[in-house]
Structure 1
Amino acid sequence: MNAYTEDDLRRAVDAAVRAPSLHNSQPWLFRLSGGAVEIFADPARRLPAIDRTGWAARMACGAATYNARLALAASGRPAEVRLHPDPREPGLIARLTAARQRPPTYAETELYDAIPHRHTNRRPFWPDPVPAEVRVRLIEAARTESSWLALLVGTVAVAGFAEIATSADRVLRRDPAYQAEMAAWRPAIPEHARAPLAEPQDLLPQRFFSERRRAPGHDYEPEPLIGILGVPGDTKADQSNAGQAMQKVLLTATAAGLDTALISQPIEVPAARDQLRRTLGRPGHPQIVIRFGYGNPTGATPRRDAAEVSLPGGTLVPGIPGA
């Protein structure tokens, strides 16, 4: 029988925990069960004020699933993935079963090697444009994971998105529960990874995790490259799949030398998300926004220890309440 082992689980977890998550909440757990690697949403790490439906947790677990896929493929042990495979376990996001062994492809090796180098960069990027051939690779990365990536072109499109994102940010800031949750999770993002305080001329909103002002002349780029990632549907499985696509896009960008930052305020506010969907005119639902560019490197954010997120076989994991 072709089954995964404890060594395979450790390899998968070591890569999976490097995925991004809202406020660095790291809402995932892992289990080896019946020779399969399973990925769960951790109800203890939920964000009830911002993520009432569990969307952000599913996106993060989807991204972790993609990293685990790459780690297993890079070791010659690729996986077949089923999302939300068992309705009796609502917290189970993905089950990875061992497929036929084979050498990794060049693309798998390249993206796997990019995992430790992918970090969210919330600071200003340089004004250098992203080459057309790299943009094509980003769009293709989303397409191969049954998703789409709409890159905004021109000042009018970017300004229109900025208006939606800023309006959504204002709505969130008026919510006391949102403010309290932001304060509670602030320590999860170290100072070196935080964005500097916003300035009046800034085009896009920033989370207020830092009290540090940026040096004069270090403005955010006037015409950032913005990508909006979406999927045809909006079920739980669609959202988890969008997380996989998001991670493939992020790793493709990292392998091409780009920095990235995630913008989720217009997804967190239903009215703003619907306005964004109508503005794009694409079938399906936007799931996350990504800012691409070139910038000074930033360090990694801390991750939970593998022992803390690995479960013994047979452990029951409840679903996220309200999700």
Structure 2
Amino acid sequence: MSEHTDEVTRALVQAADAARFAPSIHNTQPWRWVVRAGRLELFGVSERQLREQDPSGRMLLLSCGTALHHAQVALVAEGWRHEVKRPAGDPLATIRPLEREAIHPEATRHFQMLQVRRTDRRTVTDDAVPQETLGHLVKVAEDHGAHLHVLDRDQVIELAAAVDQSQRAQDSDERLRAEQAKWVGGDRDENTGIPASALPEEVPLTTVAERDFQTSGTLPAGSGHDHAATYAVLYGTGDDAVDWLRGGEALSALWLAATEQAVSLLPLSGPVEIPSTRQTLRGMLSGTGYPFLAVRLGTLDPAHSAPPKTPRLPAGQVIEIL
């Protein structure tokens, strides 16, 4: 094996390792990486798909897309130009390094955000996200093949109704509640799922309700409200598997950019998981796109420390080197 091949293999393994920190639906981490012949292949793992909540596998694809973007961020931070192919099948995507180039400070900052990013379900402050920052986030989404539609006040109320409707539909489904209970709460010794340490003690009082996991956490919810929060819909122009994968890449890029701007991003996937409420979100887009999820953007209280990291599967369980 040549020195160059060794270098490429090390870079790909490091990229797959960095991708372990990507966000995923209920922290299911539904991905697997294979390093072979100078390329990194991404596969979905059906055993970690939410069969009741996500029977179509859209959220699995979105989650795999965030991991795919994380891996690319890690490669760029090491100075690797690369190409990505997204075939309509297995693997979901293939990354192939091309050549080394100068490392830019911006790439290093993006890589640092992989470790800083959190899912924070607590209330936000009364300081609104500046318009300039919102404009930057809209551009980030567009640069990564998606769109971010910022909702006006009337649409926020409409979103709140859709979230409430989707929550009630899911609460009435016994099988879905049982599946959720397997992934949420407790200490999560199996290195997946959402531990109690990452959940508020009670569901925060907000205009747009957060998902009610039917279990208490240990984080103080906060005394604020979401009056100053901005709500938006992340969407794409297509609804095929590759579109959802690209949507996950855009979500990851958007989330890292928000973190770098000291903006909290909370994904709201509930209304996308129910056909009727997903149609409501599509109506907010005037039928011009397909919603991936809604997001809350807000400013966190600087006095609050970040929530603890959610657990991650060990590298040996998600990375295979051939």
Same fold (TM over 0.5): yes
Task: Report matched runs for 1:103-252 at 5 Å.
Answer: 103-153=102-152, 155-186=153-184, 187=188, 188-198=193-203, 203-208=208-213, 210-212=215-217, 218-252=223-257
C-alpha deviation, 1:146, in angstroms? 1.4
In the other structure, the counterpart of 1:319 is none
Q: Deviations over 1:99-154 (max 9, x none)?
A: 2321233432222121100010011111210011110110001000111001113x
Letter in 2 for 1:178: L
- Contact 1:141/1:249 (CA < 8 Å) preserved in 2? yes
Distance 2:37 2:309 in 1: 34
In the other structure, the counterpart of 2:93 is 94
Q: Which of 298-307 and 184-193 deviates more? A: 184-193
Distance 1:60 1:70 in 2: 16
Letter in 2 for 1:299: P
Aligned to 1:61, which of 55, 60, 64?
64
Question: Helix, strand or coil: the match of 1:262?
Answer: strand
Pair 1:47 & 2:46 matched: no
Gap regions ≥5 residues in structure 2: none
Distance 2:277 2:47 in 1: 28
Distance 2:35 2:66 in 1: 19
Letter in 2 for 1:73: V
Distance 1:209 1:117 in 2: 27
Distance 2:94 2:206 in 1: 46
In the other structure, the counterpart of 1:28 is 31
Structure 1 residues 63 and 214 mapped into 2: Cα distance closer, same or farther (>3 Å)?
Answer: closer
- Contact 1:13/1:68 (CA < 8 Å) preserved in 2? yes
Letter in 2 for 1:121: D
Question: Helix, strand or coil: the match of 1:301?
Answer: coil
C-alpha RMSD over aligned residues: 2.1
- Contact 1:195/1:210 (CA < 8 Å) preserved in 2? no
- Contact 2:163/2:208 (CA < 8 Å) preserved in 1? no
Distance 1:215 1:304 in 2: 27
Pair 1:299 & 2:299 matched: no
Distance 2:321 2:218 in 1: 46
Moved over 4 A (4+): 1-4, 199-202, 212-217
- Contact 1:80/1:99 (CA < 8 Å) preserved in 2? yes
Structure 1 residues 201 and 28 mapped into 2: Cα distance closer, same or farther (>3 Å)?
Answer: closer
Letter in 1 for 2:307: T
- Contact 1:77/1:98 (CA < 8 Å) preserved in 2? yes
Identity between Structure 1 and Structure 2 (%): 27
Pair 1:18 & 2:17 matched: no
In the other structure, the counterpart of 1:311 is 320
C-alpha deviation, 1:200, in angstroms? 6.8
In the other structure, the counterpart of 1:316 is none
C-alpha deviation, 1:217, in angstroms? 6.8
Q: Name the count of aligned residue pairs.
A: 308
Letter in 2 for 1:94: A
Distance 2:282 2:30 in 1: 27
- Contact 1:31/1:310 (CA < 8 Å) preserved in 2? yes
Distance 2:107 2:120 in 1: 24
Q: Deviations over 1:187-226 (max 9, x none)?
A: 4212221133236765323232532598697143234211
Aligned to 2:272, which of 262, 267, 284?
267
Letter in 1 for 2:9: E
Distance 2:285 2:164 in 1: 17
Letter in 1 for 2:41: E
